[in-house]
Structure 1
C-alpha cells in the first residue's frame, strides 16, 4: 500500500510538472487566448494572475514581451513591487496591456476577485489616457522619444485597443468586467475618435484610397518610418486587421464603407500569385527563407510596398531598399515576417459584409426612393446623397430605348461592382466627377469564372451593349492581377465614345467588338500586358496614352475581311513600365486584322520589327499593319517586318475621323451628339 501511495504521489507530481512545463513552453499570448472555462479557476491560473498584478505599473499599463506564466522568485517579486511607480516601457505594443486585460477578464468570470476588476479598469483608464487628440495611440505611453511617438498600427497595436473599446461600448459579454456609465461614455468617444483617425490615415495613391502604413506621423498623419528596415510604406499585414475592425462596425457610415471598399480593391490589386515562401527550420528556428515559383500557391501579400506604385520591397538594418528577399542578409531575411496571408480573411468576409449593410448604404436605392428625382439626369453617390449608391441600380432605373439621352452623374468613390449597360439601355451617358477618383472596379478573371473556353468574355468589370453610349472622367479597372484573361471594359455596341477615361488591367484589358460597330476613344489612358486591346470593331484612338505593363503585344485585332478600318491610333503616345523593352504593336487574332498608327509617338520599348504574325504566315497577305509619320525611339520604319506598311501621304489621307467612324442613320457625325 505504501508503494502504491508513493507511485500515486510521483504520478501526481509528474502530471503537475508536465502541466506547468507545457504552459511554460507556450507564449503568453497563447495562454491569454485559452478558451474561457474552469481552468481560470485553477490554482495554476491564480498563480499566473498574481504575476499579472505584480507586473502592472501604477499608471495602469504593462510592459511588453513578458512571459507572465513564468514562476517568479521572491527577489523578482520584490523587484516588481519596487517598479510599480516606474512609467518606462509601459506600452500596448506586441499585445501588451491588451493581453493582460483579456486574461484578467477571464479570471474574474471564474473568480470574482476585486483585485482583478480593479487592475482591468486601471488598464482601461491607461488606454483612454494614452490616446492622442487626433484619435491615434502611440506605441509607448508616457511618450518615449523616437519613432515610438508615431500612431502605431504595427503588430495590430491600435486595432487591439479599439477592439477592447468596442466590446465595452457595445456592452457585449466578451469582457466579464464592465465600467460605470460615465467611463462607457468616454470609451464611446475614444472609439469614435480612433475610427476617425483610421479613416484620415488611409493612404491616397494618386487620389485613390488604398491601405495603411504600420505607423503614421502623429502630427501630419502621413506614413512614417520606424526601425531602419521599416520604411514608410503600405502594409499588407497591418491593413488587414484594420479592415476587419471596420467591417465589424454595425451601421457603418458611408466613409467607413468607402474605406473598406477601397482597401478590398487594393488587396485584390496587390496580391501576389504564383509564389510560395519556403522555410528551413532547425531546432525550432528559421535558418533560411526562399521565395519559389509555384502556380498552385495561395495568394500572398508583401508587408512593405512602395507608396507610389505598390511595389514590394525589403530592407536590411542599413535601411537600403531591395526588391528581392534574396538580396538581404540572412539575419533580417530569416528573422522578420516579410510576407503575410492575413488579407485572405478580409476577402473571405467581404461579400457577406456587403450583404449585411443597411439598405440605405448598400448597393440599393435610397430608402423611400423608388424612382430618381429626374429620370433623365440621375446622380450616383456612395454617401447616399444622390438617387442611388450603385451605378448598376441607376442603369436599371433608366427607360428602355429612351426618347432622349439619360445622363448618370457619378460622384467620386470606389464602386466595387460589375456594371452592364444592356442592349435596351441606349443613349446613356456616365459622367464621373473626376477621372482618377471615380472608379468602377471588379476582379473577375478566366479561372475564377470557370465557364469553359469562353470564360474570358464573362470577366468584364463594365460591359456596354447599348448603342450611343458615352462615358467621361471614369476609371474602369479589373484588379485580378496577372492571372490570365481579365477584361476591364467590353464594348459590344455601335456609336460609343469614351473621353478622358482610364482603362486599367493586365491581359485582355479592353475588348472591342460588335458587327459593324464604330467606337471612339479620346484622350484616354489604357494599360495592360498581353493583347490588351483586342476585338473586331472599327475603333479610333485619338490622343490616347497606350501603356505596356510587360513585354508582350499591345493589340490583337480580329477585323472582318470586308471592313475597311480596324484599330486606328492617331496622335497617341506609346509608353511602358520600367523594365519593359520588347513589346509589339500588334498581332492578328484573326487573319484579316487591320491596325494602323498615325502621327503617334512610339516609345523605345517597341521592338524594331514592330509586328508579329502569331505564327500565321498567311496573314502576311491578309492582314494590314501600317504606320504613318510617327516619332519616337521605337519608330524604326526601315527595320519593320517586310509585310507591314509605311503609308504614303496620299494613303494616310483616307484615315479621317469621318471615314473611320462614319455617320448615323441621318447622315450626321454621330460622335458630335455627346455633351463633351
Structure 2
C-alpha cells in the first residue's frame, strides 16, 4: 500500500511538472513575457528557439508580426535560410527585434547555448547601427522608402529600444547576457542621444510643451504623417510610453523633469471621462461593430490622435479625411484600429511618487490642501522653477493658492492654465524677483499670429493675482514680444514692473475685467494692447521711443476698454512724439483721467491707424489731465473731453463690475 501511494504521488509530481513545462500561451509576445523562467529550459522552448534563430537576419534584426512558436515545415526552413542575407523587412515595429532579444536572454539564462548569446548580441548591434545621428530610430532598418524612415514612436517602438539600451548601459541583471565594456559604453551613448531626441521632439503648443506625435520627421523633427489615417497629431498612446521611460530615469536632468511635468499636465487636461465604448450585437448576440456613447464619470481615456493646436480628438478612414467622432468613420477602420487608449492612466498613477522624488516636497496626498508653495533658486523652497510650482497647484481650488517666489532671475516661460484658478504669484520684491524670457515674433516664427506665442508669462486662470515682481520680455527692440499676456477674468496686478518693447502687455479674453495698480509698464509700439476691460491706477506708463502707447481692440457694445486713472506718462529723452493710442479694432475705447502727461505726448493725442471708420466708432476720452502733454484744444476732433458727470461714470465699481462683488479689493 505504501509503495502504491508513493508511486501515485510520484506520478502526480511528474505530471504537474510536465504541465508547468508546457507553454499555454498562444501569442508570441505572451510566450516571451509570461512563461516561468524554468519553461525556457524545456524542449518546447528549445524548439521555438530554433525558429527564432532561423527568422533572425544576418544584419541582426527580425521581421515583425511573426508567431515564432508555430511549427515550420522543411520547405519553410529552407526559405528562411535563403532570406538570412535579405534585410529588407527587419524592423523594431510592433515589438520586433526587442522581444526576440528578450526571448534569447531568457533562453540563455537556462541553457548556455552560445548561439543564443550571439543572437542577442547581434540584435543589440542592429539597434545601435539603426540609430540616426540625431538620436532617433526609423521604423525599418535598413531604411525603407516612405513614412517608414520617420523617427518612430508608434506602438512604443523607440521606447522599447531605449528600455533595452538602458538595461544594458546600467549593467542590470534584467538580461542574462553581458556585452563587452565597449558595447556597454556605446549603449549608454545611444541611450543619451535617444533621450535628447525625445526632448527635442516634444511638441510646443502655443509655446507650451505638451507631448509627442507617433512619427516625427527624421530631418526637421516636426510631427509627420504615416498611413493615410495616421495624420500628424498629438498622441495619447505613444506619449504615455515615452513619459514612463523618462520617469524611470534615476536622477533626471532638469530638462527631463520639465518634459515629464509638461506631459503630465497635458494628460490631465486632455483626459476624457464622459464617453464609453459600447458593442453593437447582431440577432445572435455576436459583436459586429462598436460605437461610442455618452457616459458619466467613466474611467479616463485619451484619443490616439489629437489636433496639434487644439487637442481636439479626430478620426479618419483610409481617405485621410478628419472626422470629429469615431461613429462618423466606416466600420473597417472603426473596428480595425485602437482609437482610444488608457495608457496615460499609468502616468497619472505613478506621477505623484515621481514628483515627490524629483523636485517637489508636495505629495499628491497633500495636493488637495495646498495653499502655499515656495519657489527658490537655491533649492530652499519647494521648487526651483515657477512653472513647476504651477504644475503642483490644485485645479479649481476653493481657496487662494500662493506661489511665493524668492529673489532671483527666473529665465523661463510661465503659463497659468485656465484650470489653475485663484493663483497668487507673490514675489519677494519687484526689483530683484524677475521672470524673463526672450521670445519675439521672428524667433517664434509660427506665422502671422506669432505675437501671441511670445509671452514670458501667460495667465489663463481666473482670479489671478500678481505682485512684487518684474515680468520682462528680454528680446529687445526686435519686433513684437509680449512680457505679460492676460486672457483671464478678475486678474489683479499690483506693484509690478512690466518690461518690454513692442506689445509688452496683452490684455484680452471674453468679458474679462483686469486691474493694474501701482505698476511700472514700459515699451515702444502698442505696448498696451487687446480687447479686455482694464483699469490702470497709480501706474507709470513709460515710452522708450516715439510711437503709440495703446492699441485697444474693445469689442462692440463694451462699456469700457482701457482706463488710466491717476497715472504718470513718462518717456526716455529720445521719445519726443508719443501717441496716447490708436485703434487695433474700430470700436476701441481708451480713457485717461486725472493723469500727468509728459511733453512726449503729441498735441493731437490720437491716431486712426488708417481706419477712418474708427473716428466714428472708437471712443478716445480724457478728463482733468495735466502736464505738458495735455493739450485738449489741439486733440484730434474725433476724440472726447469728458464732462464731470461723464467722468464720474468711470468709477472702479462701474469699470470692474463683475458677478464676484468687489473682487478687485480683496
Report the TM-score, using the length of structure 1 for normalisation: 0.63
Q: Is the 8 A contact 1:381 1:390 kept in 2?
A: no
Separation in 2, partners of 1:334, 1:315 = 12
Task: Tell me the residue number matched to 2:315.
Answer: 314
- Structure 2 SS opposite 1:48: helix
Q: Is the 8 A contact 1:262 1:414 kept in 2?
A: no
Task: Tell me the residue number matched to 2:396.
Answer: none
Separation in 2, partners of 1:603, 1:238 = 47
* CA gap 1:423/1:13 in 2 versus in 1, 3 angstroms: closer
Q: Is the 8 A contact 2:413 2:436 kept in 1?
A: no
Separation in 2, partners of 1:23, 1:442 = 54
Q: Is the 8 A contact 1:412 1:434 kept in 2?
A: no
- For residues 606-621 of structure 1, the aligned pairs below 5 Å read none
Separation in 2, partners of 1:234, 1:110 = 43
- For residues 45-444 of structure 1, the aligned pairs below 5 Å read 45-280=45-280, 287-357=288-358, 365=376, 395=404, 397=406, 409-413=409-413, 420-421=424-425, 431-433=435-437, 436=453
Separation in 2, partners of 1:172, 1:247 = 17
Separation in 1, partners of 2:402, 2:653 = 37
Separation in 2, partners of 1:659, 1:518 = 21
Residue 154 of structure 1, CA deviation: 0.6
Q: Is the 8 A contact 2:153 2:215 kept in 1?
A: yes
Task: Tell me the residue number matched to 1:489.
Answer: none
Separation in 2, partners of 1:197, 1:429 = 33
Deviation by residue 1:140-181 (Cα, 9 ceiling, x = unmatched):
111111111111111110110000000000111111111010
Separation in 2, partners of 1:164, 1:28 = 19
Task: Tell me the residue number matched to 1:615.
Answer: none
Are 1:510 and 2:489 an aligned pair? yes
Q: Is the 8 A contact 2:459 2:485 kept in 1?
A: no
Residue 326 of structure 1, CA deviation: 2.0
Task: Tell me the residue number matched to 2:25.
Answer: 23
**Residue ranges of structure 2 left out of the alignment (5+ in a row):** 1-6, 362-372, 394-400, 440-452, 475-481, 499-503, 520-526, 535-549, 563-581, 588-612, 618-639, 657-666
* CA gap 1:441/1:17 in 2 versus in 1, 3 angstroms: farther
Task: Tell me the residue number matched to 1:640.
Answer: none
Q: Is the 8 A contact 1:390 1:415 kept in 2?
A: no
Separation in 2, partners of 1:189, 1:518 = 49
* CA gap 1:19/1:442 in 2 versus in 1, 3 angstroms: farther
- Structure 1 SS opposite 2:276: strand
Separation in 2, partners of 1:543, 1:242 = 41
Residue 585 of structure 1, CA deviation: 8.3
Deviation by residue 1:361-393 (Cα, 9 ceiling, x = unmatched):
x987556x769xxxxxxx976899xxxx99999
Separation in 1, partners of 2:106, 2:414 = 42
- Structure 2 SS opposite 1:218: coil
* CA gap 1:198/1:513 in 2 versus in 1, 3 angstroms: closer
Separation in 2, partners of 1:165, 1:17 = 35
- For residues 424-573 of structure 1, the aligned pairs below 5 Å read 431-433=435-437, 436=453, 464=466, 500-503=483-486, 509-511=488-490, 523-527=505-509, 545=530, 572-573=552-553
Residue 293 of structure 1, CA deviation: 1.8
Residue 423 of structure 1, CA deviation: 11
Q: Is the 8 A contact 2:374 2:404 kept in 1?
A: no
Task: Tell me the residue number matched to 1:485.
Answer: none
Separation in 2, partners of 1:306, 1:332 = 19
Q: Is the 8 A contact 1:150 1:217 kept in 2?
A: yes
Separation in 1, partners of 2:173, 2:286 = 39
Q: Is the 8 A contact 2:458 2:486 kept in 1?
A: no
Separation in 2, partners of 1:284, 1:199 = 48
* CA gap 1:364/1:154 in 2 versus in 1, 3 angstroms: same
Residue 62 of structure 1, CA deviation: 0.5
Residue 353 of structure 1, CA deviation: 1.5
Q: Is the 8 A contact 1:519 1:538 kept in 2?
A: yes
* CA gap 1:364/1:571 in 2 versus in 1, 3 angstroms: closer
* CA gap 1:226/1:422 in 2 versus in 1, 3 angstroms: closer
Separation in 1, partners of 2:19, 2:255 = 54
Residue 232 of structure 1, CA deviation: 1.4
Greater Cα offset, 425-434 or 134-143: 425-434
* CA gap 1:164/1:585 in 2 versus in 1, 3 angstroms: farther
Separation in 2, partners of 1:526, 1:88 = 56
Deviation by residue 1:281-338 (Cα, 9 ceiling, x = unmatched):
7899963232222231132222112223222221111111222222211111121111
* CA gap 1:259/1:50 in 2 versus in 1, 3 angstroms: same
Deviation by residue 1:594-646 (Cα, 9 ceiling, x = unmatched):
x7458999999xxxxxxxxxxxxxxxxxxxxxxxxxx99xx9xxxxxxxxxxx
Q: Is the 8 A contact 1:472 1:500 kept in 2?
A: yes
Separation in 2, partners of 1:20, 1:35 = 9
**Residue ranges of structure 1 left out of the alignment (5+ in a row):** 372-378, 399-407, 444-458, 475-498, 548-553, 556-569, 576-583, 587-594, 605-630, 636-646, 663-676
Separation in 2, partners of 1:289, 1:127 = 39
- Structure 1 SS opposite 2:291: strand
Q: Is the 8 A contact 1:101 1:120 kept in 2?
A: yes
- Structure 1 SS opposite 2:356: helix
- Structure 1 SS opposite 2:48: helix
Kindly tell me the number of residue pairs found equivalent between the two proteins. Answer: 511
Separation in 1, partners of 2:154, 2:67 = 20
Task: Tell me the residue number matched to 1:484.
Answer: none
* CA gap 1:600/1:13 in 2 versus in 1, 3 angstroms: farther
* CA gap 1:181/1:241 in 2 versus in 1, 3 angstroms: same
- Structure 2 SS opposite 1:68: coil
Residue 121 of structure 1, CA deviation: 0.7
Separation in 2, partners of 1:520, 1:253 = 32
RMSD: 5.2
- Structure 2 SS opposite 1:67: coil
* CA gap 1:182/1:597 in 2 versus in 1, 3 angstroms: closer
Residue 267 of structure 1, CA deviation: 2.2
- Structure 2 SS opposite 1:297: coil
Deviation by residue 1:246-305 (Cα, 9 ceiling, x = unmatched):
111122222222222222222223333322233447899963232222231132222112
- Structure 2 SS opposite 1:182: helix
Separation in 1, partners of 2:374, 2:298 = 33
* CA gap 1:103/1:424 in 2 versus in 1, 3 angstroms: closer
Report the TM-score, using the length of structure 2 for normalisation: 0.64
Deviation by residue 1:194-252 (Cα, 9 ceiling, x = unmatched):
11111121122232222211111111111111111111122111111111111111222
Separation in 2, partners of 1:53, 1:42 = 17
Deviation by residue 1:7-40 (Cα, 9 ceiling, x = unmatched):
x99xx9999899979433xx21122221542222
Q: Is the 8 A contact 2:280 2:287 kept in 1?
A: yes
